[in-house]
Amino acid sequence: MAALRFILGDQLSRDIASLSDLEPGDVIFMCELMSEATYVRHHKKKIAFILSAMRHFAESLEGEGIEVDYVRLDDPQNTGSFTGELKRAVVRHAPQRIIVTHPGEWRVLEEMKTWESRLGIPVEIRPDGRFFASLEDFRRFAEGRKELRMEWFYREMRRKTGLLMEGDKPAGSAWNFDRENRKSLPADMKLPERIGFQPDETTRMVIELVDGGFDGHMGKATGMGFPVTRDEALMALDHFIEACLPFFGDYQDAMKEGAPFLFHSLLSAPLNVGLLCPREICREAEDAWREGRAPLNAVEGFIRQILGWREYVRGLYWLKMPDYPKSNFFGADRDLPWFYWSGETDMACMAAAIGETRENAYAHHIQRLMLTGNFALLAGIDPAQVEEWYLAVYADAYEWVELPNTHGMALFADGGLMASKPYAASANYIQRMSDYCTGCRYSPKAKDMQNLCPFNALYWDFMARNREKLGANPRLGMVYRTLDRMDKARMNTLRKRAREFLNSLE
């Protein structure tokens, strides 16, 4: 045969580079691996989603008459590793060459680089063309820059793609509309009904396999409702554009008890495995604006997440690996509290975000950044442990997208390469943007330190103990002027409360 074309679990696109020139006699190779399911304790719904999507993609290829060699997780001969399964596939098919698309994670690429010498046949690693920007595009953008701000990259991508452009000017005469996108959710705001996808026989088999075989992993596979086929993913896209996008901009930073999805797209999981293409998502959103079905602030804010942040973090990841996760600007070394896994905490906001993560393998970006990420930053939790948690618990998490967002944006562990200041916030932000504080045992306004929200004590303790590192940051000047005006006795009490609370976590 001519070629063995290896498709990974996050490359479920018919237009993936390794399938672009498929010839008669070629074989598609796919495998489910225990090592990939367990190198971190992935959420059961995440495992079930990926395995089901892989099996459905293989079925769709076979429906085209393409030969697919598919190794399942419970195959008794399964070696559990990429290299081990590729070796067995080479023995079965005796290919002249192996074709694969560039992976999303550094560790996988390093393994791929060994295949040619270990297998004794040519291995072609093709660039992943599913992104707007190539890795070389990002390197050119980064060359000579000490700070790699997303905003400048985003503007370049707008010009390159023409998305939301009017000639050489941005639509609406502004590059972003963040100031319009920070509204708290009205109490009587009606939220859209979200569509779910009933499991077919393939998905039911996967759910049974996962729920029965991954003790110690978060959550349950039962109830997994992510789209697992291309058709389902397109249905999810259409639903978001029509039912949610018009309100997405106004309320994208809002949080509400018992409402995990609000107006968010829920498209990141199918997008990151390849069931959707970023170009089609952005074009659908732009069309909604141009046709008057969604306002510009909503469409721009949504497109920026894909054309801006998603492309930017991928470029940064590949530019800075493998050394990027080694930095630890604040020297944070506290262990991740157990409640990140259990959801058992008296802080209502954290209990809600983690509880919804346990239930859905999903939390929206403000819950991730300004609740679980903000707490980890303020508490001085070891970046590696926080990063492992984010990678494990969310269905859309792969290292290329999770690591920069967590290490650089949420934790500021890279010292400002990615963000101009830490995303640190007190309970006042949480109270303004959510209803979590209403029923919480803690209060942002309590005078009794035992009932004061831990976020307030932790915030001022964080600012005080990191003054040497952050005091000269121009975006934090007002914060430190406020700190200097605070009563010394109160400041000492706040810092003592922060220490007592953190000690209680141990």
The 10s digit of each residue's pLDDT in 103-156 is 999 999 999 999 999 999 999 999 999 999 999 999 999 998 888 899 999 999
Using CA atoms, how far residue 322 sits from 195, 327, 389, 445, in Å, is 39, 11, 19, 44
Tell me what the mean pLDDT of segment 285-292 comes to: 98
d(CA 174, CA 155): 10
Tell me what the mean pLDDT of segment 172-198 comes to: 91
Query: What's residue 96's pLDDT?
Result: 96
Residues 6+ apart with CB under 8 A from 153: 138, 141, 308, 311, 312, 315
Are residues 301 and 253 part of one domain?
yes
How many domains in the chain?
3
Closest by Cα among 296, 298, 199 to 243: 298
pLDDT band at 235 (very low <50, low <70, confident <90, very high): very high
Query: What's residue 147's pLDDT?
Result: 83
Are residues 145 and 109 part of one domain?
no
Residues 6+ apart with CB under 8 A from 392: 40, 41, 42, 43, 217, 218
Are residues 346 and 228 part of one domain?
no
Query: What's residue 169's pLDDT?
Result: 96
The answer to whether residue 463 scores a pLDDT higher than 90 is yes
The answer to whether residue 1 scores a pLDDT higher than 80 is no
Phi-psi domain of 197 (left: phi exceeds 0; alpha: psi -120 through 50; beta: other): beta
State the CATH number of the domain containing residue 41. Answer: 3.40.50.620
d(CA 280, CA 283): 5
d(CA 146, CA 142): 8
Indicate the helix (H) or strand (E) that contains 390: helix 383-393
For residue 82, is it within any domain? yes
Max CA distance (Å), the chain:
78
Tell me what the mean pLDDT of segment 380-399 comes to: 98
Domain holding 13, by residue range, is: 3-126
**Are 82 and 108 a contacting pair, CB within 8 Å?**
yes
Helix-then-strand count for the chain, H and E = 25, 7
Phi/psi at 227 (5° precision): -65, 135
Domain finish residue from 68, 103, 126: 126
Are residues 161 and 309 part of one domain?
yes
Tokens of 494: 């706040």
For residue 406, is it within any domain? yes
Count of positions (residues) in the chain:
506
State the CATH number of the domain containing residue 262. Answer: 1.25.40.80
Are residues 434 and 366 part of one domain?
yes
Closest by Cα among 344, 343, 350 to 378: 350
Phi/psi at 366 (5° precision): -75, -35
For the stretch 320-352, pLDDT in tens is 999 999 999 999 999 999 999 999 999 999 999
d(CA 358, CA 175): 36
Are residues 117 and 142 part of one domain?
no
For the stretch 66-112, pLDDT in tens is 999 999 999 999 999 999 999 999 999 999 999 999 999 999 999 99
Average pLDDT, the chain: 96
Kindly provide the residue ranges of all beta strands, DSSP E only, lying in 82-209, ordered along the sequence: 97-101, 123-126, 165-166, 169-170
For the stretch 243-257, pLDDT in tens is 999 999 999 999 999
pLDDT band at 178 (very low <50, low <70, confident <90, very high): confident
For the stretch 196-224, pLDDT in tens is 899 999 999 999 999 999 999 999 999 99
Are residues 110 and 203 part of one domain?
no
Domain finish residue from 66, 93, 126: 126
For residue 454, is it within any domain? yes
The answer to whether residue 462 scores a pLDDT higher than 90 is yes
Q: How far is CA 366 from the centre of its chain?
A: 12
Are residues 114 and 46 part of one domain?
yes
Domain finish residue from 293, 320, 347: 320
State the CATH number of the domain containing residue 452. Answer: 1.10.579.10
**Are 459 and 496 a contacting pair, CB within 8 Å?**
no
Are residues 484 and 370 part of one domain?
yes
